[in-house]
Structure 1
Amino acid sequence: MKQLVAYITAGFPDKIFSLDLVSALKEAGVDKLELGIPFSDPVADGPIIEVANLHALQNGFKMETLFEISSIVAPTIETYWMGYFNPFYHKGMETFAQKATEFGVKGFIIPDLPHEEATPYIPLMNQYNISLISFVAPTHSKERIATVVKDAKGFIYLVAYAGITGAHASEDLSKTIQTIKEQSNTPLFVGFGVNEKTAKERVRGVDGVIVGSAFVEVLLNESLSGSEKIASIAQKARIIKEKINA
């Protein structure tokens, strides 16, 4: 069974909404959850998630919001914290690792932390049994891929194209996928630009897809009520889960 990983911006528009949304996503067949940590300069994300980040911060998001949500949802669905390195650095990687262990969060997804700079934190992550998710891009050489995925844990995040989330670019990933599979047995998921239209194609040769902008876009639709937003996102999740396993 191919897996569906869902990204949502934690605490947007508020904590209760996030909890209700996670419950609906789980019911719709989502296997893993990325809880996005709002940040003022999300360099790897496109305009949709960037706007959601800014709205969450304007609404008063605090790190405690992330921790409160995680304490409730992490025991019910495999949960990862997705964020930029600045908050992890300032609060302390060990503090985050301790909190993650306390709540049952499985790992961290930090897109602006290069492999070489992440390596010194691996012993700490291992100490707390936390996965630091490895990123691979189609522009990486075979040698680079071998280095990055050698000790990958949790899952490997294959970026579908060089760019930002939410775009609709497309690249032939078959050679990259083959190289990764030759080097690692860790589950491989494709992210960036995955939605109802692209999911079936993007899941070829991999173990699942990561969907973010397609869900967050609904959260920004002010013509919908809160319950309508949740229902719409859950329906998108059902369709994508069905398509990747058709």
Structure 2
Amino acid sequence: MNRIQQTFANKKADEKLMSLFITAGFPDLESTVDLVLGFEENGADMIELGMPFSDPLADGPTIQYSSDIAIQNGITMNKIFEMVEAIREKSEIPIILMGYMNPVLHYGVEKFAQKAAEVGVDGLIIPDIPLEEDGLIKHHAEKNKLDVIHLVAPNTSDARMKLADENSQGFVYCVSVTGVTGARDGDEVSQSVARFIERVNTHVTENPVMVGFGIKSHQDAVSIAANTDGFIVGSALIDTIKNHYPQEGWQSKLFSFVHALKHGN
């Protein structure tokens, strides 16, 4: 088993795993490694490391903003791989690279997969690859023992949910609401998510289920992730950084927020 699969295997029956998304190179190049290590110390079970792209079509204003800042800071794919190497010197937390296919193609798919595996990446989430075209990366990912994780949303048909399950390794990422990323009002999400997750659990039977998009508090997480294996938070983290960086103690405030997300205090 790889790190992702081991994390799910070790999960207690009533536990909800927490995966956190952070854009590599945001708010500055020097902070990413420390943020990931601090997230783990405060309850993160997995990390999604965003690969910034200039046209992030699935992302709302918050993550678009973080991508723009990271690009201005000079982030590159090689620098992202160096960050993963630095994290691996101190941590075995599962790391998933999340981003768009264009930068992967630019880097070279085979070279990308080999390098990702070499530095200690465990999985990939590429939202703009349709299920029918995941052969673009799946062969190289499997060859290098990288999980390819697919997304399903409320407007995903039952048949495509089954296909996403068959084509995914690690887990299936449930987008709790239709639309772009972003923290939303908890009631807006929870009213519709229960029906959606019930349908997911009927058709996704081979993989664990993680739910994301719109979670910004422990209460949201408990409610939205009730019938899943865990939850994913991204935009609310970026917003917290925006609100406090570069003030003194901004990392401590962020880590307190992360601890509260997982533990409720």
- So what's the TM-score if we normalise by structure 1? 0.92
Name the SS of the counterpart of 2:231 in structure 1. strand
Task: Tell me, yes or no, if structure 1 residue 193 matches structure 2 residue 214.
Answer: yes
- Tell me the matched-pair count: 243
Partner of residue 164, structure 2: 148
Counterpart pick for 2:70 among 56, 59, 66: 56
Displacement after TM superposition at 1:162 (Å): 0.7
1:143-182, aligned counterparts within 5 Å? 143-168=159-184, 169-170=188-189, 172-182=192-202
Name the SS of the counterpart of 1:108 in structure 2. strand
Tell me the distance in 2 between the aligned counterparts of 1:176 and 1:222. 35
Change in CA separation of 1:13 and 1:120 when aligned onto 2, cut-off 3 Å? closer
Partner of residue 10, structure 2: none
More divergent stretch after superposition (11-20 vs 157-166): 11-20
Displacement after TM superposition at 1:155 (Å): 1.2
Task: Tell me, yes or no, if structure 1 residue 31 matches structure 2 residue 78.
Answer: no
| 1:133-172 alpha-carbon deviations (Å, 9 max, x no partner) | 1100111121121111123211110001111111414252
Tell me the distance in 1 between the aligned counterparts of 2:121 and 2:257. 25
> Which 5+ residue runs of structure 1 have no aligned equivalent?
none
Partner of residue 83, structure 2: 69
Displacement after TM superposition at 1:202 (Å): 1.0
Partner of residue 238, structure 1: 259
Partner of residue 153, structure 2: 137
> Which 5+ residue runs of structure 2 have no aligned equivalent?
1-14
More divergent stretch after superposition (44-53 vs 163-172): 163-172
- So what's the TM-score if we normalise by structure 2? 0.86
Displacement after TM superposition at 1:44 (Å): 1.0
More divergent stretch after superposition (161-170 vs 97-106): 161-170
Q: CA RMSD in A?
A: 1.9
1:1-12, aligned counterparts within 5 Å? 1-12=15-26
